[in-house]
Amino acid sequence: MSVIEIQDLSLVYRTGKEEFLALDHINATIGSGEFVTIVGSSGCGKSTLLSVLDGLNKPTGGRVLIDGAPINGTGPERAVVFQQYTLFPWMSARDNVAFGIKQVRKGIPAKQAEAVSEEYLEKVGLSEFMHKLPGELSGGMQQRVAIARALAVDPKILLMDEPFGAIDARTRVTLQEMLLDLWSQDEEKKTVVFVTHDIDEALLLSDRIFFMEPKRIKDVIDVTIPRPRAKETLYNQEDSNKLLNRLLGLFYQDVAEQIGNEEVVL
């Protein structure tokens, strides 16, 4: 069953007398419990599409449905993890997670919110750091706190906008594997929509990949690599290399077309 339906979606930014078409008649469906990544070159509209799914941007044409109901702003069934950690610097890791819980579960007793916070910090491997301030944590640890905060509100849909983009390569692999473990071990898998420009990351994580060219989805790719997956063995089979070559071909074609049209956005 489709949990997200994107129907003829368009978005125009207006600044004064000028208009910019950011999304152009996009159609797609995302199934319940599916892990979808959105890839494409910089400036193609990946993050803009995610912002519409979150309800931060309102379509100027078409609509997005969740379980058959149109999106009307943000909602508790959706949680977002951004590239920047967006933690309150004056709050401990536990209090940052508990704050998110209190925003969604109004009236929850403070002790209960703290207990749930501690549970999810343990899931991301940060129990011994729960009383640390964000400034006392590494970038990877701060992003773990942000992921714990998103998961602790128990959303049906997890939206992730290049969450590992600002993290070093070694930590990035660790967080990818952690995310996969948390997603796969959940009794009722969350629907994940994950924006990335990293092909390896997309192949490691996804059930399907939406490849975007400027303003629209150009191709939808089924990732047939068996699970569980690991970064070090990702390309040890023929299917993996075929998918890699297909994605690389789409990237090179997209860049060549943009250069020809002088539309490259760096």
d(CA 251, CA 31): 26
List the domains of the chain with CATH numbers.
2-77+155-261 (3.40.50.300), 84-154 (no CATH)
Question: Pick from 221, 208, 206, 207: which is nearest to 251 by CA?
Answer: 221
Q: Which pLDDT does position 16 carry in this prediction?
A: 80
Under the banding of pLDDT at 50, 70 and 90, the label for residue 209 is very high
Q: Which pLDDT does position 194 carry in this prediction?
A: 98
d(CA 257, CA 97): 44
| 8 A C-beta contact, residue 227 and residue 218 | no
**Whole-angstrom distance between the N-terminal and C-terminal Cα of the chain?**
37
pLDDT beyond 90 at 43: no
52-111 pLDDT, tens digit each: 999 999 999 999 999 999 998 999 999 999 988 789 999 999 999 999 999 998 889 999
Q: Which pLDDT does position 235 carry in this prediction?
A: 86
Q: Which pLDDT does position 71 carry in this prediction?
A: 94
| 8 A C-beta contact, residue 235 and residue 65 | no
Under the banding of pLDDT at 50, 70 and 90, the label for residue 266 is very low
In percent, the amount of the chain with pLDDT more than 70 equals: 94
Mean pLDDT of the residues in the chain: 91
* Amino acid letter, residue 141: M
Instruction: Say what the pTM is.
Output: 0.92
147-204 pLDDT, tens digit each: 999 999 999 999 999 999 888 888 999 999 999 999 998 888 999 999 998 999 999 9
For the segment 14-29, the average pLDDT, to the nearest whole number, is: 91
Nearest-10 Cα torsion for 76, 100, 147, 141: 170
